[in-house]
Structure 1
């Protein structure tokens, strides 16, 4: 099965094995997988469309939300079509460069997603703790700088992963026991010491996870303190409701990711198919649920979606 380039000791392609141990269930797994992908495409595209056409939604909170929707579309499109090819048509082969490119896009946009969640937590902090200065603080130049920082941080942190992986000699097997080119799943195939790759990957995961969770936690601690000082019960409920959808999205994004990282690095007793399923949930669940959570919990988006579809159906 191994195709080796003798001059560079790199395979011309990799073979994605899917979910070892669950080969018989792959066709059944493709049903929820394709359903989640369709919901992701429709939901996030609808969010982007509604935010674009509705002037009242051209505010920092919804600009961050549109960034999140765009990131979710890229992550799901970089993974699901190839997964479906592996599950349904046994189109398991992926070129060496294509594998490294997929690795870069998946991991970099995952970092961008958590960075945007930090920016959204800061947005909620300013909106609740300094409402009179909200528009003065989160101006369009500031939003542009935040967007550039989100992209720059992700690219700077993740670029070394495929660069270091390209330098490894893959002179044994080219079969990746995964549904996509996950960093460690590919690196473990090298026939040399990969401690540098493993250490850097773990360092990035810990840095991004810990720093982003601490920043989000600090923002919401200040928000909670400010909300509890509000004299009116209705005002407190309104403030909590404003943050509710964002808290749901944070939990959706971080909980599967935390389990995936811990089981992949330290859960040696966890079955391989369980680790792979967790890694897939980490990538696919947030893009599927984010537009549903925001669409249901955000009144402005919900009302605008209703008006758009009612008009198209000719309803009053």
Structure 2
């Protein structure tokens, strides 16, 4: 009976990658994963072992590194298993878990980037008030709220995902478990599923981008008042690299999540490429953009490898990124 609803105990991942691109994709994913793990793990270790880095800005950087490691570990090993050994079967429960982690960290990363942009805005525009406005307590509360808000936004997706019924197929034409794909292959015809995706993506994405762009624009205004040409160059160089990561994160995700909600279906390969760029490239780049360009972290890494002890007067100030 083709229209009979069946209980799905597992999904089959069908990674839509051309055979002539398979080797390149496997090597690229493996390289991205190794660089992401090593880079973010190094940042976390340096921040933990150096007491001079136990300050608000580095709490944000450390949290971002944790998010990036979890996000990459949630996706890339499974994708490599699918591509290398044809291990395409995923039980229903782990599939929903992977989906929930992807969406939770997607929202949490955006909120965290907004908080980090606002932190830099306060540090540059109100440097004298910064120590009283941004404390370890306020940073911990903001990180807690980031996760609470992300979980609240995720909850309707999980409810809808459990309501989906499948009567045609259990094959997901992507390299990982995804809410949009589940809706497309399900027999549940309810427009609210994809409408929810588009509306929450627009609301959170536009809101977060507004905060980020506002913060960076105010930093630009403050930078233009700097008399030193080198100072201006350093600020603008940092802002441009930060905006590059923001664009890599937001634009592909917004395209891939908003279009299905308004009735535009992307090809499996196009969707995979967009997701790889949005979810996997920024975690690899973030340690370079937010950490390795930072004098305090670079100094700590150098001393870690050379086993030299840091001195208290080496670390002071907030705007050396």
| Aligned: 1:167 with 2:156 | no
1:30 corresponds in structure 2 to 26
CA distance, structure 2, for counterparts of residue 266 and residue 39 of structure 1:
36
CA contact (8 A) 1:16 1:176 kept: yes
2:8 corresponds in structure 1 to 11
Moved more, 262-271 or 204-213: 262-271
Moved more, 92-101 or 287-296: 287-296
CA distance, structure 2, for counterparts of residue 169 and residue 52 of structure 1:
46
Q: How many residues align?
A: 307
Q: Would the alpha carbon gap of residues 248 and 152 (structure 1) be closer, same or farther in structure 2, given more than 3 Å must change?
A: same
CA contact (8 A) 2:197 2:258 kept: no
| Aligned: 1:190 with 2:181 | no
1:278 corresponds in structure 2 to 274
Q: Report how far residue 238 of structure 1 moved.
A: 4.6
CA contact (8 A) 2:78 2:176 kept: yes
The secondary structure found in structure 1 opposite 2:11 is: strand
Q: Report how far residue 122 of structure 1 moved.
A: 0.7
CA contact (8 A) 1:245 1:294 kept: no
The secondary structure found in structure 2 opposite 1:192 is: coil
CA contact (8 A) 1:112 1:151 kept: yes
Q: Report how far residue 220 of structure 1 moved.
A: 1.6
Moved more, 291-300 or 91-100: 291-300
Unaligned residue ranges in structure 2 (runs of 5+): 309-321
Q: Report how far residue 236 of structure 1 moved.
A: 3.4
CA distance, structure 2, for counterparts of residue 269 and residue 253 of structure 1:
20
CA distance, structure 1, for counterparts of residue 294 and residue 250 of structure 2:
21
1:292 corresponds in structure 2 to 288
CA contact (8 A) 2:197 2:261 kept: no
CA distance, structure 2, for counterparts of residue 164 and residue 266 of structure 1:
18
CA distance, structure 1, for counterparts of residue 237 and residue 129 of structure 2:
21
Q: Report how far residue 307 of structure 1 moved.
A: 1.9
2:100 corresponds in structure 1 to 104
CA contact (8 A) 1:253 1:282 kept: yes
Q: Would the alpha carbon gap of residues 27 and 239 (structure 1) be closer, same or farther in structure 2, given more than 3 Å must change?
A: closer
CA distance, structure 1, for counterparts of residue 275 and residue 260 of structure 2:
9
Deviation readout 1:224-256 (Å, 9 max, x if unpaired): 222223344444345445545533432332233
Matches within 5 A, 1:115-264: 115-241=111-237, 243=239, 245-261=241-257, 264=260
The secondary structure found in structure 2 opposite 1:15 is: strand
Over the aligned positions, Cα root-mean-square deviation in angstroms equals 2.4
Q: Would the alpha carbon gap of residues 89 and 59 (structure 1) be closer, same or farther in structure 2, given more than 3 Å must change?
A: same
CA contact (8 A) 1:188 1:194 kept: no
1:41 corresponds in structure 2 to 37
The secondary structure found in structure 1 opposite 2:12 is: strand
CA contact (8 A) 1:170 1:190 kept: yes
| Aligned: 1:95 with 2:91 | yes
2:307 to 295, 311, 315: 311
Q: Report how far residue 156 of structure 1 moved.
A: 0.3
Deviation readout 1:34-72 (Å, 9 max, x if unpaired): 111011110100000111112222222211111110000
Unaligned residue ranges in structure 1 (runs of 5+): none
CA contact (8 A) 2:55 2:136 kept: no
Q: TM-score, normalised by structure 2?
A: 0.88
CA distance, structure 2, for counterparts of residue 241 and residue 59 of structure 1:
24
Q: Report how far residue 94 of structure 1 moved.
A: 0.6
CA distance, structure 1, for counterparts of residue 262 and residue 297 of structure 2:
41
